[in-house]
Amino acid sequence: SSSGNGFPNVRRKPVIIIVVGMAGSGKTTLMHRLVAHTHIKNIRGYVMNLDPAVMTLPYASNIDIRDTVKYKEVMKQFNLGPNGGILTSMNLFATKFNEVISMIERRADQLDYVLVDTPGQIEIFTWSASGAIITEAFASTFPTVVAYVVDTPRSEDPTTFMSNMLYACSILYKTRLPLILTFNKVDVAAHQFALEWMEDFEAFQTAASSDQSYTSTLTQSLSLVLDEFYNNLKSVGVSAVSGAGMEAFFKVVEASADEYMNTY
Ligand code: GTP
């Protein structure tokens, strides 16, 4: 069936959830929680790890880049440092990504979601050719959404909040996929303030004006620019530690997948 997303052969299931986030946002802990939730609720999920350098994962994955590419060997063979090693490992994996897609297609009838964990260094995935190739391969075959994990307590600082939103904005416009602002650690700080700032830029400007620095002036100007961006976003509060917000998260994923099928 044809849809509005420009990829005529996209099927409705499974939904691909690409999980990205700044270091320390709690991405790995959240992945673990999401995987546990799918088990408890009998949601049929597949788990994919795209971080070649991760030592141990707290959850079991069905597809793991480490089974195909040996990061340490790649570093030695090409005489690379840690980031170059991760990037080259992803490039090698990207050349075989059609096999990964075929594997998911063969199991599509038995799957609701594919949860994709990305390298801890966010820009290695979001700003690399292989990251783009992998994202495009997913999005041309299945509805694909990006879950951008935010460290909520740290984002109570207006300047940090703004930096985070600008980064999310750049990912939205680069991938052109539905983006879910996933406010993590709500057990420590509720994300209500973030919703207010996104709803009402004057409220944000008031918060930012308590800081008289140049950054604060810049932050206030940027808040006007981001107003339009917020209109294109969905958001949800979660806690990887307490498990709060899991049902809400998958609801937002479903809504984003519908959006993908209808409007892209
Ligand atoms: P990678 O970059 O993938 O290694 O993960 P990460 O750095 O994004 O986050 P990680 O899962 O390692 O979590 C970072 C820290 O935040 C750890 O100390 C976690 O225990 C903590 N953390 C993660 N999620 C939550 C949460 O929901 N609530 C609280 N209170 N702490 C959390």
Q: What is the pLDDT of residues 49-82, one digit of tens each?
A: 999 999 999 999 999 999 999 999 999 999 999 9
**For ligand 1, atom 17: residue with the closest CA:** 26
**For ligand 1, atom 26: residue with the closest CA:** 185
Closest by CA to 142, choosing from 170, 174, 169, 109, is 109
Using CA atoms, how far apart are residues 209 and 211, in angstroms rounded to an integer? 5
pLDDT at 264 > cutoff 60: no
Q: Which pLDDT does position 229 carry in this prediction?
A: 87
Average predicted confidence (pLDDT) for the chain: 92
On whether the CB atoms of residues 231 and 179 are closer than 8 A, the answer is no
Q: What is the pTM of this model?
A: 0.94
CA 27–ligand 1 middle distance (angstroms):
6
CA 119–ligand 1 middle distance (angstroms):
14
The average pLDDT across 97-116 equals 97
The average pLDDT across 112-133 equals 94
Q: Which residues line ligand 1 (CB under 6 A)?
A: 21, 23-29, 120, 184-185, 187-188, 239-241
CA 25–ligand 1 middle distance (angstroms):
6
Max distance between CA atoms of the chain, in angstroms, equals: 57
Using CA atoms, how far apart are residues 22 and 12, in angstroms rounded to an integer? 29
- Residue from 29, 83, 148, 242 to probe ligand 1 pocket by mutation (most atoms less than 8 Å from CB): 29
The average pLDDT across 152-159 equals 94
The average pLDDT across 87-110 equals 96
On whether the CB atoms of residues 108 and 123 are closer than 8 A, the answer is no
Q: Is the peptide bond before 119 cis (omega within 30 degrees of 0)?
A: no
pLDDT at 242 > cutoff 60: yes
* Higher per-residue pLDDT: 12 or 186: 186
Q: How does residue 1 score in pLDDT terms, banded at 50, 70 and 90?
A: very low
**What sections of 52-176 are H helices per DSSP?**
65-68, 71-78, 82-94, 97-106, 122-126, 129-139, 158-175
pLDDT at 4 > cutoff 70: no
Q: Which pLDDT does position 205 carry in this prediction?
A: 85
What are the tens digits of pLDDT across the range 165-224?
A: 999 999 999 999 999 999 999 999 999 999 999 999 888 888 888 776 666 777 778 888
Q: Which pLDDT does position 214 carry in this prediction?
A: 61
% of the chain with per-residue pLDDT over 90: 78
